[in-house]
Structure 1
Amino acid sequence: MSNWSELEVNLIIQIYFEMLRKELSNRRYSKTEYRKNLLPLLNNRSEGAIEFKHQNISAALIKFNQPYIKGYLPRFNYQQILDEKVAAHLENHTDYEKLFKIYADRDVEKRSIDNYDKMLVKPPAIEEVNEPKISYTRNPIKVNYLEREQKNSKLGYLGEKLIYDYEKWNLTKMGKEKLAQEIRWISKDEGDGAGYDILSKTIDGQDKYIEVKTTKLGIKTPFFFSDNEFEFSNRNSKNYYLYRVFDFENRSRIFTKNGGLQEICQYAPVVYKGYF
């Protein structure tokens, strides 16, 4: 299949952002309807090709550190023109930054959980993510709203509360009520400088250091961590667990990974400190 033309790229970006606007505003829409309306305007593209390109646009938005459509998990192998067109669209529609800000800062409600068993899912495989270099020299939006969403204090608190309750439930379910009583919510009671959030227990009574990262977005949304968290995880890799809470507003789900951050995910430095 030939590369997408400039006209096709412009059309699918326009459609993607129409859907994104509705999703971030909690308005209902049909991906299928948008896709079927787009098909006749393209050069003999299949519905699968449209889905793939939508996933490419999600990846481009993640490169610009912005929210994306949850249903289109990012795929980073795409034409360079896509970066330029996504950036240009954001520059020409400056109201999206206000929408991203509202989404990142928006209060979330505590969710009642009927069945913890259904929350745990298989973690995504570590795939080689080679993000194309952004040829577009100007960043269309300066604020990293992906990180800002993760740092939303209410969202972070509720995500940690969810895992605190989950750990108590899980140990109790396995007949370890005494261990369940020993769980401590470190970040709430002692501050966030410990390098982890919750001190739980394994089934055999060993310490279990849990770092909770929560997002309203999808399973492959990048997460952000500090040097302190990184170093602590690597020093205590045998007992360190990342709990990733995602899709928090709809039907919160969790995956877990055991080990230091240097081994359980790909990572890249995003901030440097300069000394004189």
Structure 2
Amino acid sequence: MPGAWTETEVLAIVEVYFDMLAMELKGIPYNKAQHNRELAQRLNNRSKGSIEMKHMNISAILHELGMPSISGYKPYSNYQRNLLPDAVLDRLAANPDLTEIVRNDVDSAVEVPTVTDILDRLETPPTMNMPKKSKETREPTGKYTIRTNFLKLEAANKSLGDAGEQFALNFERAWLISHGKDSLADKIEHVAKTQGDGAGFDIRSFEPDGTDRFIEVKTTKYGRYSPFFVSANELRFSEEHAKYYHLHRIFQFRDDPRLFSLSGSVGKNFILSPTEYRASLS
């Protein structure tokens, strides 16, 4: 039975992961199964499940660094901390072109994608998995430092945010019309435009019975597991209006937009991690 992953194996899987990630970011089709079959020949009898899990570990590390990950590999943060983080950091250091691709991608302008049936874009929400604490706590020793949180930079892309909100508006209108509520569809308000960003939500829509739906929209070009950012005001509003609050997470917005929606407070549905603190002297 294979033991712990060796440095040679870790370097091999990180290399293959980054090759696939670069192709995904460039919009180049690739075959994950084929890449993994070729990778398996370089490993020490690793099972398909073991290889899959290691890919998921790499996704988790990239998210911790503020980088996008491969869409199909759900992040799993219980990883081998004495080898894998350094291998990822070193690979990033050796591939500045990849960082530049990401930088250009998160800043690029976005238009609302055209879809045949927008209601068909709705997916079942993923389950929330609390991360397990690893016994190993040693920090990465790689010399490379991510100076920019690209996922946060993407979240600040106004073009992307506006396009995502318009997509959500189109979805809400289509959803109400499908329930025979055309008059309610006409009353949907784009609150982020009419009242500004301080309202704590983006769209005021309705249930078929006329009850309010307060909708916050979070949009990414990347996969469904990409982290997103929530302001203190948005979090507070979701708690105070949990009964009527819905978060629409729109993902793969670049070429195959999809969304899932969760109702109730943000803290009930997502793992929240503090990323910034306000400092003062009083």
1:260 to 250, 261, 265: 265
Contact 2:119–2:175 (Cα < 8 Å) also in 1: no
Contact 1:63–1:131 (Cα < 8 Å) also in 2: no
Amino acid at match of 2:167: L
Identity rate, percent: 37
2:131 equivalent to 1:164:
no
CA 1:89–1:142 in structure 2 vs 1: closer, same or farther (change >3 Å)? Answer: same
2:200 to 195, 202, 221: 195
Which string of whole-angstrom CA distances, capped at 9 and with x for unpartnered residues, describes residues 162-203 of structure 1?
111111111111111121111100112221111100011112
Is there any run of 5+ residues in structure 1 with no aligned partner, and where?
A: none
The CA deviation at 1:130 is 4.0
- Which residue does the alignment assign to 1:105? 107
Contact 1:60–1:83 (Cα < 8 Å) also in 2: yes
My pick for the range that moved more, 102-111 or 124-133, is 124-133
Contact 1:213–1:223 (Cα < 8 Å) also in 2: yes
How far apart in 2 are the matches of 1:158 and 1:129?
A: 32
2:120 equivalent to 1:118:
yes
SS of corresponding position for 1:254 = strand
Amino acid at match of 1:72: Y
Contact 2:214–2:245 (Cα < 8 Å) also in 1: yes
- Which residue does the alignment assign to 2:250? 245
The CA deviation at 1:82 is 1.0
How far apart in 1 are the matches of 2:59 and 2:267?
A: 25
SS of corresponding position for 1:193 = helix
- Which residue does the alignment assign to 1:34? 35
- Which residue does the alignment assign to 2:140? 136
How far apart in 1 are the matches of 2:94 and 2:116?
A: 44
SS of corresponding position for 2:90 = helix
- Which residue does the alignment assign to 1:51? 52
How far apart in 2 are the matches of 1:269 and 1:254?
A: 25
Contact 2:119–2:171 (Cα < 8 Å) also in 1: no
The CA deviation at 1:33 is 2.3
- Which residue does the alignment assign to 1:185? 190
Contact 2:71–2:225 (Cα < 8 Å) also in 1: no
Is there any run of 5+ residues in structure 2 with no aligned partner, and where?
A: none
Q: TM-score, normalised by structure 1?
A: 0.94
Amino acid at match of 2:31: S
How far apart in 1 are the matches of 2:48 and 2:250?
A: 31
1:213 to 202, 218, 237: 218
Which string of whole-angstrom CA distances, capped at 9 and with x for unpartnered residues, describes residues 146-174 of structure 1?
11112211111111101111111111111
Amino acid at match of 1:51: E
SS of corresponding position for 1:135 = coil
The two structures, once aligned, show a CA RMSD in angstroms of 1.7
My pick for the range that moved more, 30-39 or 78-87, is 30-39
1:236 to 222, 238, 241: 241
2:86 equivalent to 1:88:
no
SS of corresponding position for 2:197 = coil
- Which residue does the alignment assign to 1:5? 6
The CA deviation at 1:139 is 6.2
Contact 1:90–1:140 (Cα < 8 Å) also in 2: no
The CA deviation at 1:241 is 0.6
CA 1:117–1:134 in structure 2 vs 1: closer, same or farther (change >3 Å)? Answer: farther
Contact 2:62–2:68 (Cα < 8 Å) also in 1: yes
How far apart in 1 are the matches of 2:32 and 2:256?
A: 19
Q: TM-score, normalised by structure 2?
A: 0.92
Contact 1:83–1:134 (Cα < 8 Å) also in 2: no
Which string of whole-angstrom CA distances, capped at 9 and with x for unpartnered residues, describes residues 94-128 of structure 1?
33321220121122332112112311111111211
How far apart in 1 are the matches of 2:27 and 2:277?
A: 36
How far apart in 2 are the matches of 1:87 and 1:20?
A: 15
Contact 2:92–2:144 (Cα < 8 Å) also in 1: no
How far apart in 2 are the matches of 1:139 and 1:254?
A: 34
CA 1:241–1:117 in structure 2 vs 1: closer, same or farther (change >3 Å)? Answer: same
